[in-house]
Chain A
Amino acid sequence: MELNNLYQSINLILPEIVLSASLVILVLADLIFHKDKRLIPYIAGIGIAITGAFVINQFGISGFGFQSTSQSIRNYGLIAVDSFGVFFKLIVIASSILIIFFSLSSSEIRKIKDRVGEYYALIFGMILGMFFMISATDLILIYLSLELLSLSSYVLAGFTKLQDRNSEAALKYLLYGAVSSGLMLFGISLVYGLTGSTNLYVINSLIQGPHVNLFTLSLAIILIFAGIGYKISSAPFHFWTPDVYEGAPITITAFLSVASKSAGFALLIRFIKTTFVSYINDNGEWTLINVFDWQSVLIAISILTMTLGNFSALWQNNLKRMLAYSSIAHAGYLLLGLVVLTNQGLLAILIYFIVYLLMNLGAFLVVMLIANKINSEDIDDYNGIGYTSPLLGVSLAIFLISLTGLPPTAGFIGKLYLFVALVDVKMITVAVIALLNSVVSLYYYVRVLKHMYLSKATDSTPSIIPTFGTGILVLVLVIPVLVFGIYFGPLVNLAKSCLVIIGF
């Protein structure tokens, strides 16, 4: 590898380098300040902020890093930097910063304050894994980044060790994760055997040729999808989600449900678009290489995911578990944007992720603040809480309404763009199924409102007045949900400028 090439590549991974450096600093700081660890979260926050600055700096750049000189097609590298990647990295950064604030106010995390250095270091491990997942264009790097993310998440899921369910979550997560990453690795080896390459762009050009064994290739693709589907918790790889989400500390659950899912989606989109799309026409419609019918598979998975998620959520009495199923359902909605195989659909996914970040983290934040006080996420303990804790009650109501997708909240705009993308390619039946799903989801979201407001407050109903800081945090999430619901121009413009996936 030429030195010049290496230098350029290092420029492209500056955010990742900063992240790694911060990770090292965090570990060192944990050793130095082992008596008083109050500074650790702030160090972590600064590390993420600097990373964020470097990510923003990459906006508008596109290029490949770590290009190989040995291959015949030398223009493609291990990682791709483009505005699509920058967008998802920013989603990760934004949720990481919020998660650090969440952690500061979480009583669960306060109980383990001796080990808080490891906690943040592992979060950095997750972020690093996500960053590489978002920009990886090589199957080996995809696998490695996925494992880096997963290993950190397994530990974090059971990190608090306060209850049995923490360990249960970690173990279940590990077992499911091990199986799906094994399947994925097998799929990767099959692809390598078929094409002799692990680079997505090379594979793209090779599978367009006539000598591809379609059966083996399809098998390999399904196996690889198992690994990615597990990360985005799409059916039928979603079974770990409720248990892990319920058992993990709420901060980690929230982080998994937004950041980890967004990285998984970025990977899935990049994987499909770079490997299987041969041509994009002027209307932004993608033409697939005729080796694997992604569209039908994605339609089936999307509908299955949202329907299973929504119907299972109907019966949940634990808010965390309900939100877990709801996040499965949302993975289903998000897949709709990919089903259509158009730029319009991609746009819808990006918009939906901004909205999803706000409303889902918001819902988890309120659940966490309530759990801090009453030490429970049981829906019956929410009876009358809307009267005794007005700010949290109203905020949770707004987040849940937004998750349902009713105007005038941002959730409606997210859903609207997905349905616009569907109607644009005339997939009316799919749109109707998705819309009926959102009617189903209304029932369980409103069930929470029912407990909060339709049940009378009793003397034992806790009154939870957030501190100044957490109050601001709640408002930071609530206000955009309302504002973007009424004035969504900036949202769409931002997403529109982040559609570039290099290669086409």
Chain B
Amino acid sequence: MMGFPILTLITFLPVLGMIIILFLKKEQGNTIKYTTLAITAIQVVLAIILLTNYNYSAAGVYEERSFQFIEKFRWIEIGGISWLGTVKIDYFLGVDGLSMPMVLLTALISFIAAISSLNINHSLKGYFALFLLLDTGMMGVFVALDFFLFYIFWELMLLPMYFLIGIWGGPRKEYAAIKFFIYTLFGSIFILLVMIGLYFSATETLADGTKVFTFDLLQLMNSGNYTADGILSPLNPNNLRFVAYLALFVGFAIKIPMFPFHTWLPDAHVEAPTPISVILAGVLLKMGTYGILRISYPIFPDITRDLMWWIAIFGMVNIIYGAFVALAQKDFKKLIAYSSVSHMGYVLLGMASLTSTGVNGAIFQMFNHGTITAMLFLIVGVVYDRAHTRGLDDFGGLALQMPAYTGFVTVAFFATIGLPSMSGFISEALVFVGAFGVDSIRVITMISALGILLGAGYMLWTLQRIFFGPLNQKWATLKDIDSREYAMFIPLTIIIIFLGVYPSAMLDIMNTSVNTLVNFLHNNFTVSSISGL
């Protein structure tokens, strides 16, 4: 596959689709819908092609030559003058074991969300154009290996998301949309600052031997590239690496969302239309944790080691707090939103362990949470479309009325709880095993395990309230799921069960890279300490 720009294709194909849609007429609603569906389907095919050509033993992480499907060429080059060095920015794409699962997830969730979008019924042209732009932004974040490019993709998603929530959302859509926008922009300004700071701290040696400042993430991971007086250089005794790490972490934590930066999430989720909730929970939240793994961890291994206990604490708070708040919810969608907060806590906990098992568990949990929560939001969408209410106490006995639906719900709920033979079980187990093995965070892990219990509590209680007991006669006319909904649920169900039974299919993809990353974290950037305070 060398030479064929498959990553560019998978990233920018949606933009092509967007352009096609912009040239279609408003009245051609079905053409617009099926163009989008076709584009996302091709993306899935491309993702599968990537997977079949994927080399399971190549590590990537910090080493350019073991990245796969690399595309790298000069994007911006500005010649230097006496006081201003050459500025160069690369268009640099590539995947490794950290990003491959996310690329697969993005393609899958976009496709499912496109199916789910088929019942959008107004302003189709705008909706699908923005949907595809969002898709490009998401895919770009996961394949970019240049910080500048990463940042452009990261910001590219904000505007489509704002409109998708704000125009097609629920009653409080305007509030939710602007809250999401301002919160995430607030986070990304910190990322921007750290990006500029890193740029001035490390140089890359070009082929002709000149040294230039760089945005290249892999060059920034090499402690040998740092200049003696750069503000984020470990060699500088007065460096600001600690502050920069916190700033970067806040930027990513808002996206995860980590307590106490999570308050935008319930609003955004509740107001967003179903397909957008699916994308939000399925892909967008993963960008936060992916950013930490891809950027914070390998560029600041020194600070990461110092702060792992704190990351674990925040993971624990997310798990327990999210679960308790979920228990108190009366709105189905809000309950799922808070369960997301809780489950992203597992990812943080696994990452904080800095062990192969834990980090593998974390990335696997990112994938699984993506598929499972996507399914949960689809489930809420199904019942909301029919009943126009999401109140947990408004229902009862739906199992009799909608048996097939109840079947899928049960699968998704049990996967969320972490029942063995479901994918969620494996990833949560790996997270706990990994984190438990580290002395300093063992107690935190033990407390976090309560989250499983609470999770079972709110999920089973929800199942009981909505589906069991006597049928509320108000809903005696509800129809069971139709073929479009089957098309959304079946692939997700298959993936959830398949990865529960045969987790190696996913774990093998990431394992080499995760081991490399964990080794890298323990052995690099040893000169610095928290001297920047």
Contacts and interface: CB of A to CB of B under 8 A. Distances in A.
Interface of A: 282-285, 342-344, 347, 387, 401, 406-408, 412, 416, 419-420, 423-424, 426, 428, 431-432, 435-436, 438-439, 442-443, 446, 449-450, 453-454, 487-489, 492-493, 496
Contacts of B123: 387
B182 A347 contact: no
Nearest to B79: A493
Contacts of B167: 453-454
Given A407-B155, A496-B81, A450 B185 contact: no
A410 to B, nearest CB: 13
Interface in B137-185: 151-152, 155-156, 158-159, 162-163, 166-167, 173-174, 177-178, 181-182, 185
B76 A439 contact: no
Contacts of B189: 432, 435-436, 438-439
Given A420-B199, A454-B174, A496-B78, A435 B193 contact: yes
Nearest to A491: B78
A235 B227 CA distance: 39
B76 A489 contact: yes
B231 A407 contact: no
A443 B173 CA distance: 15
Contacts of A493: 78-79
A416 B167 CA distance: 30
Contact of B152 (A408, A432, A442, A453): A408
B87 interface: yes
A424 B79 CA distance: 18
Contacts of B75: 487
B244 to A, nearest CB: 9
Contacts of B467: none
A423 B231 contact: yes
Nearest to A280: B83
B152 A420 contact: no
A282 B83 contact: yes
A354 to B, nearest CB: 15
5 contacts: A284-B82, A406-B159, A407-B155, A439-B186, A442-B181
Contacts of A387: 123
B162 A424 contact: no
Nearest to A285: B83
A496 B123 CA distance: 45
A363 B524 CA distance: 50
Contacts of A487: 75-76
Contacts of B79: 493
B151 A407 contact: yes
B84 A343 contact: yes
A446 B196 CA distance: 26
B77 A424 contact: no
A450 B193 contact: no
B174 A423 contact: no
A431 B193 contact: yes
Contacts of A419: 192-193, 196
Nearest to B199: A420
Contacts of A449: 162-163
Most buried by B among A347, A424, A428, A493: A428
A483 B60 CA distance: 33
Contacts of B158: 406
B200 interface: yes
B84 A443 contact: no
Contacts of B83: 282-285, 342-344
Given A423-B196, A489-B76, A493-B79, 12 more contacts: A283-B83, A343-B83, A406-B159, A406-B185, A423-B193, A423-B197, A428-B193, A428-B240, A432-B189, A435-B189, A439-B185, A454-B167
B68 to A, nearest CB: 26
Nearest to B231: A426
A496 B75 CA distance: 18
Contact of A450 (B159, B174, B192, B240): B174
B177 A454 contact: yes
Contact of A420 (B162, B173, B182, B196): B196
Interface of B: 75-79, 81-84, 87, 123, 151-152, 155-156, 158-159, 162-163, 166-167, 173-174, 177-178, 181-182, 185-186, 189, 192-193, 196-197, 199-200, 231, 240
Contacts of B197: 423, 428
A344 B84 contact: yes
Contacts of B186: 436, 439
Contacts of A453: 163, 166-167
B78 A442 contact: no
A453 B240 CA distance: 42
Given A406-B155, A406-B158, A489-B78, A347 B193 contact: no
Contact of A439 (B156, B182, B200): B182
B78 A443 contact: no
A435 B194 CA distance: 12
A442 B196 contact: no
Nearest to A406: B155
Contacts of B199: 420
Contacts of A283: 83
A140 to B, nearest CB: 33
A344 B196 CA distance: 14
Report, nearest first, the 7 A-B pairs whose CB atoms are least far apart.
Answer: A284-B83, A435-B189, A423-B196, A407-B152, A454-B166, A407-B155, A492-B78
Given A428-B240, A439-B182, A496-B81, A401 B193 contact: no
A241 B118 CA distance: 50
A489 B87 CA distance: 9
Contacts of A344: 83-84
Nearest to B163: A453
A416 B173 CA distance: 31
Contacts of B155: 406-408, 412
Contacts of B192: 416, 419, 435
A283 B229 CA distance: 14
A442 B87 contact: no
Residue of B83, B152, B166, B177 most packed against chain A (CB within 10 A): B83
Nearest to B247: A432
Contacts of A435: 189, 192-193
A428 B158 CA distance: 25
A346 to B, nearest CB: 11
B156 A489 contact: no
Contact of A446 (B77, B87, B178): B178
A488 B185 CA distance: 22
Chain A CB within 10 Å, residue with most, of B81, B167, B174, B196: B196
A311 to B, nearest CB: 14
A99 B230 CA distance: 45
Contacts of B196: 416, 419-420, 423, 431
Contacts of B181: 442, 446
Contact of B200 (A423, A454, A496): A423
Contacts of B152: 407-408
Given A423-B231, A435-B192, A436-B189, A442 B182 contact: yes
A208 to B, nearest CB: 23
Contacts of B163: 449, 453
Contacts of B185: 406, 439, 442
Contacts of A426: 231
A347, A406, A492 pick with most chain B CB within 10 angstroms: A406
A284 B156 CA distance: 34
Contacts of A438: 189
B84 A454 contact: no
Contact of A347 (B76, B84, B177, B231): B84
Nearest to B198: A423
B69 to A, nearest CB: 22
A248 B471 CA distance: 68
A401 B81 contact: no
B78 A446 contact: no
B82 A282 contact: yes
Contacts of B166: 450, 453-454
Nearest to B243: A428
Nearest to A485: B152
